[in-house]
Amino acid sequence: MNCQKVKTSLPDLLLAPKSVSAEVRAHVGSCAECAKELKGLEATMAMMEEWAAPDVSPYFDTRMAVLLREEQQAAPAGWLERMRERFLFGSHMHMRPLAAATLALIIAVGGGTYAGFGGFSNPQPAAQVASPVIKDLQSLDENAQVFQQLNSMDQQDTSDNGGGAGNSL
């Protein structure tokens, strides 16, 4: 039995001694080099065992349990509650998807000139198309122009404020 062959069996000797032949065990018992190798391997494995199983914080389980309970209890209920508030009890929040869709239509029909997006000319004004939808869009467009005016007033206000602040500083 040569040492090289015995050394390949050394891990087995530590992990599953019964699987190693008596021949190998006898060799390790009588060969100083193989015995030394076995000792070194044993030390390494002991170190790895210590490293692989560090002590978990004593509060880990408690914290984990609390977090899980909070998630299970609070999250779904809170989420549903928020959604319900938003879509059922919100004063006019439910109008938002409709308004957004209408605005998208205005932009699409108006080619960007309505609602103040860009200053390029409109080859086919919406006014020439007779359709109740377009009429609705036109009234909405008027509203959009009002909003635009309000916006530009706001912008003037802020620029005035900014100028005043700049002068005072």
Provide, rounded to whole angstroms, the least separation between the CB of residue 43 and Zn ion: 18
d(CA 143, CA 68): 50
Verify binding: residue 129, Zn ion, rule CB under 5 A.
no
Verify binding: residue 105, Zn ion, rule CB under 5 A.
no
Selected binder of Zn ion within 11, 12, 31, 105 (CB under 5 A): 31
d(CA 49, CA 11): 14
Provide, rounded to whole angstroms, the least separation between the CB of residue 31 and Zn ion: 3
d(CA 84, CA 78): 10
d(CA 154, CA 142): 18
Contact segment (CB under 5 A) with Zn ion among 1-9, 11-19, 62-70, 140-148 equals 1-9
Instruction: Give residues with Cβ within 8 angstroms of 124, minimum separation 6.
Output: 111
**Which CB sits closer to Zn ion, 9 or 138?**
9
**Which CB sits closer to Zn ion, 1 or 107?**
1
Verify binding: residue 64, Zn ion, rule CB under 5 A.
no
Verify binding: residue 83, Zn ion, rule CB under 5 A.
no
The stretches of 16-131 forming alpha helices (DSSP H) are 22-30, 32-52, 60-84, 96-110
Alpha carbon 159 to chain centroid distance?
Answer: 38
* Count of residues that bind Zn ion according to CB under 5 A: 4
123: helix, strand or coil = coil
Verify binding: residue 35, Zn ion, rule CB under 5 A.
no
Residue 110's identity, in one-letter code, is: G
**Which CB sits closer to Zn ion, 31 or 107?**
31
Verify binding: residue 134, Zn ion, rule CB under 5 A.
no
Verify binding: residue 38, Zn ion, rule CB under 5 A.
no
Q: Which residues bind Zn ion (CB under 5 A)?
A: 3, 31, 33-34
